[in-house]
């Protein structure tokens, strides 16, 4: 079927929730994507921070295919090898104690929310401390609870009523945080260390450290949403590891299984026994094929690779910070926001014609290349970006 015919069919049968670009991707190899006409693109988006190892990684593909042939699904009434092994690796590399597996970022955040509320209910009585503080500009997902947690009005229109118990406070404002933490009804604070959908807007180290110490003092849980920042994206396995803080729990998804749908909610010491049989669940969560993929991803996320992620991020920053048409660069590692004079969506379209796939976040250009992108292609993509954003 031609690309044009496919687009017509897509518009006829797919719910119109995505403003798609005019490209049909059919294949990927390494850091390259190929469209239906055989044109090659350098991927600077990783399918929104998902394909951290690029496309067709041999070890990942073998692990996934072998597992698909061996046992593709068993459901969570039984033990399966890859799920248990994955939980162990995740806990050993993060300081968390237990894992609940889901299938997406929003679902992983639902688990964070439920675990925090149940912890508070067990200690203080049901509904005594249901409130979760989140930040304006945040994004936590598209389910009703995670939308309610999301601190951006634009996502809320037409979907009310929302679950109660979320209060939004301004980011990087320590006095506002201190004031909110005095509320009697608060059980947790939920943060992204870098607001991805919010424009690649980072929290300061000072704010994150204050958030940790203030919540600790008041027996309020610190929850992190590492859906976009996790799995090596910022140059640490999880981004909180840059700041010498340990959250009480965190969520992750996107890059975790290298392109297969998987989310995880990692629970620390305080929360490890909170979820009990029947209190939460997921049919597909921790599915053996996704878990095998995630094990292959984690095996590749070595110290050496993470150092390279940081070096590549610093290179992009150096090159673009002083480039004509660029107002500033935000973010960390290979999660970068480029503030530009031009309209970001128009810039993304121009880059597509030049064979570079990039993303937007608010009116910033957003770069989330595969963590394994070779230097040569990275430099080519950066040069293209420089030319396109120039006045
Ligand atoms: C920080 C953050 N949390 C949650 C989500 C939702 O993840 P999913 O689309 O997998 O439900 C996203 C998606 O962009 C995200 O960036």
Ligand 1 geometric centre to CA of 228 (Å): 7
Atom of ligand 1 nearest to the CA of 192: 1
- Comparing C-alpha atoms, which of 362, 365, 374 is closest to residue 139? 362
Judged by phi (left if over 0) then psi (alpha if -120 to 50, else beta), residue 153 lies in alpha
Query: So what's the architecture of 3-56+304-389 in CATH?
Result: Alpha-Beta Complex (3.90)
Query: What residue ranges line ligand 1, CB within 6 angstroms?
Result: 104-106, 109, 139-141, 192, 196-197, 225, 227-228, 253
Q: Model's pTM, two decimal places? A: 0.98
Mean pLDDT, the chain, as a whole number? 97
Atom of ligand 1 nearest to the CA of 143: 11
* Integer-rounded Cα radius of gyration of the chain: 21
Per CATH, is 71-300 categorized as 3.40.640.10?
yes
Ligand 1 geometric centre to CA of 4 (Å): 30
Q: Which residues of the chain have pLDDT under 70?
A: none
How would you list the strands of the sheet with 98-102, edge to edge? 98-102, 263-267, 249-252, 221-225, 186-191, 131-135, 166-169
Segments of the chain assigned to CATH 3.40.640.10: 71-300
Sign of CA dihedral 331, 333, 339, 343: negative
With a CB cutoff of 8 Å and minimum separation 6, the contacts of 332 are: 194, 202, 234, 235, 239, 242, 313
Ligand 1 geometric centre to CA of 156 (Å): 15
Segments of the chain assigned to CATH 3.90.1150.10: 3-56+304-389
Judged by phi (left if over 0) then psi (alpha if -120 to 50, else beta), residue 282 lies in beta
Ligand 1 geometric centre to CA of 224 (Å): 12
pLDDT of residue 104: 98
Q: Which of 227, 229, 252, 335 to mutate to test the pocket of ligand 1 (most atoms within 8 A of CB)?
A: 227
The secondary structure of 322-387 as a DSSP string is TSTTEEEEEEETTEEEEEESS-HHHHHHHHHHTTEE-EEETTEEEE---TT--HHHHHHHHHHHHH
Ligand 1 geometric centre to CA of 194 (Å): 12
Ligand 1 geometric centre to CA of 184 (Å): 29
Q: Which of 17, 47, 106 to mutate to test the pocket of ligand 1 (most atoms within 8 A of CB)?
A: 106
- Comparing C-alpha atoms, which of 253, 384, 370, 227 is closest to residue 319? 384
* Cβ atoms of 374 and 31 closer than 8 Å: yes
Q: Which of 105, 260, 359, 360 to mutate to test the pocket of ligand 1 (most atoms within 8 A of CB)?
A: 105
What six digits make up the tokens of 258? 């290298």
pLDDT of residue 312: 98
Q: Which of 108, 197, 238 to mutate to test the pocket of ligand 1 (most atoms within 8 A of CB)?
A: 197
Ligand 1 geometric centre to CA of 189 (Å): 17
Does residue 245 sit in helix, strand or coil?
Answer: coil
For 56-93, what is each residue's pLDDT tens digit? 999 999 999 999 999 999 999 999 999 999 999 999 99
pLDDT of residue 169: 98
pLDDT of residue 257: 98
């Amino acid at each position: 079927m031609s690309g044009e015919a496919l687009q017509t069919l897509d518009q006829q049968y797919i719910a119109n929730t995505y403003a798609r670009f005019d490209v049909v991707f059919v294949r990927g190899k390494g850091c390259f994507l190929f469209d239906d006409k055989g044109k090659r693109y350098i991927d600077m988006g990783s399918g929104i921070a998902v394909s951290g190892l690029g496309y067709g990684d041999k070890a990942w593909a073998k692990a996934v295919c072998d597992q698909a042939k061996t046992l593709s699904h068993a459901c969570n009434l039984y033990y399966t090898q890859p799920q248990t092994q994955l939980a162990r690796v995740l806990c050993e590399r993060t300081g968390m104690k237990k894992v609940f597996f889901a299938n997406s970022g929003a679902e992983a955040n639902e688990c964070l929310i439920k675990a925090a509320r149940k912890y508070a209910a067990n200690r203080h009585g049901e509904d005594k401390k249901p409130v979760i503080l989140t930040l304006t500009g945040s994004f936590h997902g598209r389910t009703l609870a995670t939308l309610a947690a999301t601190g951006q009005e634009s996502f809320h229109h037409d979907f009310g009523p929302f679950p109660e118990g979320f209060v939004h406070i301004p980011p990087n404002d320590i006095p506002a945080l201190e004031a909110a933490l005095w509320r009697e009804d608060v059980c947790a604070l939920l943060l992204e260390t870098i607001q991805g959908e919010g424009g690649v807007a980072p929290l300061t180290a000072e704010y994150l450290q204050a958030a940790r110490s203030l919540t600790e003092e008041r027996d309020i849980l610190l929850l992190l949403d590492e859906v976009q920042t996790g799995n090596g994206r910022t140059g640490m396995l999880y981004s909180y590891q840059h700041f010498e803080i340990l959250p009480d729990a965190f969520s992750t998804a996107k890059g975790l299984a290298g392109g297969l749908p998987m989310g995880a909610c990692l629970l620390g010491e305080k929360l490890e026994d909170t979820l009990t049989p029947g209190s939460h669940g997921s049919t597909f969560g921790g599915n053996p094929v996704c878990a095998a993929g995630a094990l292959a991803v984690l095996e590749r996320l070595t110290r050496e690779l993470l150092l390279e992620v940081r070096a590549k991020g610093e290179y992009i920053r150096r090159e673009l910070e002083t480039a004509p048409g660029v107002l500033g660069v935000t973010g960390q590692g290979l999660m970068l926001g480029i503030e530009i004079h031009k309209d970001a969506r128009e810039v993304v379209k121009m880059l597509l014609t030049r064979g570079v796939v990039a993303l937007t976040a608010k009116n910033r250009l957003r770069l989330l290349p595969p963590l394994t992108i070779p230097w040569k292609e990275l430099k080519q993509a950066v040069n293209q970006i420089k030319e396109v954003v120039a006045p």
